[in-house]
A and B are shown apart, each in its own frame.
Chain A
Amino acid sequence: MDKLDILACGDYYASITDELPPADLRAEVNAACRERPRRIDRYTQLALLGSARCVGEQPLAPRTGLYMGSRFASLSNAITMHEQMIGHGDTPKPAHFINSLSNSASFYVARNLELSGRNQFVSRGDASTVAALQLASLDLLSGTVDEALVGIVEEAVTPLLHHSQRLGVEDAGTTLGEGSHWLRLVRSGSGAAALGQVDQLLCLADTDALRQWLHTMQSEREGTLLFAAPTCLPAVAGLWQGGWFEPPLAYYPAISAGALLAFVQQAPTGAGTLLCVTGDEEGRWHVVRVTCG
């Protein structure tokens, strides 16, 4: 694929425990955003905060596309709605129902950043990072948009016992987290100063294909590190002889986006390339390669 330049990135991240539940973000959102939206849920707060930190005061291109990815989208709001439906027989409240739509969050992001172009929400389980980047890449490289704002947003909810079951995390010792990770991307060659480049986005059919790809990556470039989410680490461990990137992140479905941003923001000394790999239950592998420096 042609390369994409990373112009900026910004995010919000927190680990969550039952004693330290998800934070109320209203004050931070109000401080970071250009307007104060009403009746938004916590998922939208996460999206607004991460996107505002990424964009800051910098102007976006007029033809900027917005691409959000998530495994679950709005959880706390939808859980409240279902508890009221199932437990009490109540019909959904209009605000709960509207906020349960996955693109509600991106609507508020678009409104805050005054974007009126393409606005997509896409999911692919734990590989939603790759899906959102692929969609943005398609539109950037086809000239449909001049710039892409890509965000991967995952919300944690308590009780964590329920949340672990929802995530399919069997190890009770796994620390859980949440995050909202955002990137500004343009086609390479635009002349803008870049923090790094996304130059590979692939969906590999099986572990053999992953093995071959990793072999090629290892021999192609020195200073290449690999990141794999804790849930698929055992399957990858034997396939990679190089160095590993191990940012201090708890597990959440957007962890590969968290790792990607951590690398772009501060790559370890001597490391210039990061491979992020995410497996799915059908044995496919979703990969992204980012190069810095």
Chain B
Amino acid sequence: MSVALQRPVQIAGGGLVSALGNNLPRTLEALYQGKNPALATTVELFRPPLQIPYCGVSGGPDDAEERLQWLLDQALQQLFASTPLSATERRETALFIGSSCYGIGIGEQRYQQAWQSEPASAVPLPLDGFLQVSRHLRSQHQLCGPDFSFNTACSASANALLAAATAINSGLCRHALVVGLEARNDTTLGGFHSMQLLASNGMRPFDRERNGLLLGEGCGVLLLTAADGEPSGLQLLGGASQCDTYSISTSNPDGSSIAAVMQEALENCGLQPADIRGIKAHGTATPLNDDSEAAGMRLLFGDAMPPFFSLKAALGHTLGSCGAMETLLASACLQHGLLPASSGFQHADPTLGVVPTTAPQSAEDGHYLLNFFGFGGNNCSLVLRYGGE
């Protein structure tokens, strides 16, 4: 059975804090300049301490709870400065949150403090991690509508975007705030180190020298609104989300599952592959991800591959937050009329059979595909439409 076509929703505004810049214009400028925000960081918790490059946001408090709230507040201030909501609208706005960390860093810090004081009485995971974001949004920003905290690894805030669009179209809400948040925490840094997924020579998506990723920090918020009349400007048209049960940590390397989620996203929006003007790839620079994604793009687009790029070498891999953060940055590129060079890319890999953008190029009005894949086989593709303003 085919589904009813999804109706577009407006991306009415956004705010972004990233390792490239503490707001969206600065992040966009640094992206086009090809800046690399990675800095060496030491994780003192582990013995021996870990020395790893990390794309952290500059400034902000060190305390885990204050830092999480600071990241949220910075992004929301940008959003509400450009797109204010009345008190009534805030109370009724539904929240769709995607994150990999939620309160894990706060839990780490509190447990560590308690352990150092009295190990026998220290309680691990002493708080409601998932509630740390939504609670702050309610108490500090009076955003009191129904809240949904998604945790589907690196596709979390992409799934949040998709669900928010469905909620608006169903009439659950008129406005939906989508939040992607990744705050530095030692569990994530240590976990990715243990899994041997961190790059030793910089992050190089789709490059023949790629050998892993760099983690990143940041927050992206988008306000989605029902499209009244003929939609214009920047719209989230729809998408698809599927589960690939090939492996818990990688997509099927033959590309079939990635091609399938992109195909369903296009079908749900009434589009053909030829309608796509460009692709924001997931592009984590791990050998397996880029192999699978390249194979999937080849399966779907064949010889008519649209220009594609990855943003992860610029922002770091912000995990559950990348759906919101990269959608915002890709949207800003469309509004600026210029697709970026794929960050971190230098040398084509003939085994992939695809080459990302090597220089900025004109972004035409039209439809763009955005890919987000996560551990647990969670694959999500979104379709944006930009119609000029």
Within 8 A of B (CB), among A173-222: 203, 205
Contact A72 B1 (CB under 8 A): no
- CB-based nearest A residue for B249: A98
Contact A111 B375 (CB under 8 A): no
Q: Which of A66, A82, A122 contacts B243 (CB 8 A)?
A: A66
Q: In whole angstroms, how far apart are the Cα atoms of A82 and B111 in the complex?
A: 8
Q: Which of B4, B119, B192, B376 contacts A142 (CB 8 A)?
A: B4
Contact A90 B46 (CB under 8 A): yes
**Within 8 Å of chain B (Cβ to Cβ): is A115?**
yes
Q: Tell me which residues across on chain B come within 8 A of A104, comparing CB atoms.
A: 248, 375-376
Q: Quick one: given A110-B243, A118-B241, A120-B150, are A92 and B170 in contact (CB under 8 Å)? A: no
Q: Which of A75, A91, A93 contacts B50 (CB 8 A)?
A: A91
Contact A120 B241 (CB under 8 A): yes
**Within 8 Å of chain B (Cβ to Cβ): is A292?**
no
Q: In whole angstroms, how far apart are the Cα atoms of A82 and B166 in the complex?
A: 37
Q: Tell me which residues across on chain A come within 8 A of B190, comparing CB atoms.
A: 85, 91-92, 97
**Within 8 Å of chain A (Cβ to Cβ): is B79?**
no
- B86 → chain A closest CB, angstroms: 15
- A269 → chain B closest CB, angstroms: 35
Q: Tell me which residues across on chain B come within 8 A of A272, comparing CB atoms.
A: none
Within 8 A of A (CB), among B129-162: 129-131, 134-135, 138-139, 144-153, 159
**Within 8 Å of chain B (Cβ to Cβ): is A144?**
yes
Q: Tell me which residues across on chain A come within 8 A of B1, comparing CB atoms.
A: 63, 143, 146
Within 8 A of B (CB), among A53-88: 63, 66, 71-73, 75, 78-79, 81-83, 85-88
Contact B144 A141 (CB under 8 A): no
Q: In whole angstroms, how far apart are the Cα atoms of A166 and B128 in the complex?
A: 7
Within 8 A of A (CB), among B19-78: 45-47, 50
Q: Tell me which residues across on chain B come within 8 A of A117, comparing CB atoms.
A: 242-243
Q: Tell me which residues across on chain B come within 8 A of A165, comparing CB atoms.
A: 123, 126
Q: In whole angstroms, how far apart are the Cα atoms of A110 and B159 in the complex?
A: 17
Q: Quick one: given A103-B153, A282-B139, are A118 and B126 in contact (CB under 8 Å)? A: no
Number of CB contacts from chain A to chain B under 8 A: 193
**Within 8 Å of chain B (Cβ to Cβ): is A237?**
no
- CB-based nearest B residue for A281: B135
Q: Which of B119, B146, B242, B375 contacts A116 (CB 8 A)?
A: B242
Q: In whole angstroms, how far apart are the Cα atoms of A201 and B193 in the complex?
A: 42
**Within 8 Å of chain A (Cβ to Cβ): is B223?**
no
Q: Quick one: given A82-B107, A138-B170, are A107 and B241 in contact (CB under 8 Å)? A: no
- CB-based nearest A residue for B123: A162
Q: Mark B190-203, 1 if CB is under 8 A from A, else 0.
A: 11111100000000
Contact B149 A81 (CB under 8 A): no
Q: Tell me which residues across on chain B come within 8 A of A146, comparing CB atoms.
A: 1
What are 13 pairs between A and B in contact, CB < 8 Å? A78-B125, A83-B124, A86-B111, A87-B119, A90-B46, A97-B194, A106-B376, A116-B257, A122-B149, A124-B148, A125-B131, A142-B6, A162-B123
* Apart from A91-B193, A125-B130, 15 more pairs, CB < 8 Å: A72-B130, A78-B125, A86-B111, A86-B115, A89-B46, A92-B187, A92-B194, A97-B190, A107-B245, A114-B245, A115-B243, A115-B245, A121-B150, A122-B149, A166-B127
The 4 A-B pairs at the shortest CB distance, nearest first, are namely: A89-B47, A97-B191, A119-B243, A123-B130
